[in-house]
Amino acid sequence: MARTDENSSLRRLFLLPAKAVVVLYVILDGIVKPAVRPLLGWVARLRFVIRLQDIVAALSPYAILVLLAVPFAFAEPAKIYALYLMTEGDFAAGLVTISMAYLVSILIVERIYHAGRMKLATIPWFAKFMDWLTGIRDRLLAWARATRVWAFSVKLKQNARAFAAKLRLRFRAG
């Protein structure tokens, strides 16, 4: 019986770095993605992007996985490296690096994943991995939404929108 407890503790210990990376990714993604959502929408409507997505969707699941892995393999480590640069005092280089990494991640990886998501879900281990990531993301979001900081930011956002609407009305009427 002790062997099972040891294995489960060891497993948790090895999963800790993976969970830390996922948490960092979810936090950064939650900050960056809303800021670039208009750009993502614009890119998604471009004719050549739609055509490329159709080509990706026609590929086999493992071909889509390889296509997804190549830019991901460059973009994700670049984000971590950018944070390292920033902590070492080279903020400008870190900012440029993380900006480019997010650009690649959002514009290329996101579009490939969107186009091939259904076929990728047919790969059992990939589907299980995505369920795991989604579970972590959902738990983090639930935790964040339960905090006072979240409630304050929601109220602040509502007040800012109401203020902007009043300004628009005032300038239209004036």
d(CA 117, CA 112): 8
Which tokens is 141 given? 């979001």
d(CA 40, CA 33): 9
Dihedral angle computed from the Cα positions of residues 58, 45, 34 and 104, in that order, rounded to the nearest 10 degrees = 60
pLDDT band at 58 (very low <50, low <70, confident <90, very high): very high
pLDDT band at 139 (very low <50, low <70, confident <90, very high): confident
Residue 76, exposed/middle/buried by CB under 10 A (0-12, 13-18, 19+)? Answer: middle
Cβ count near 8 (within 10 Å): 10
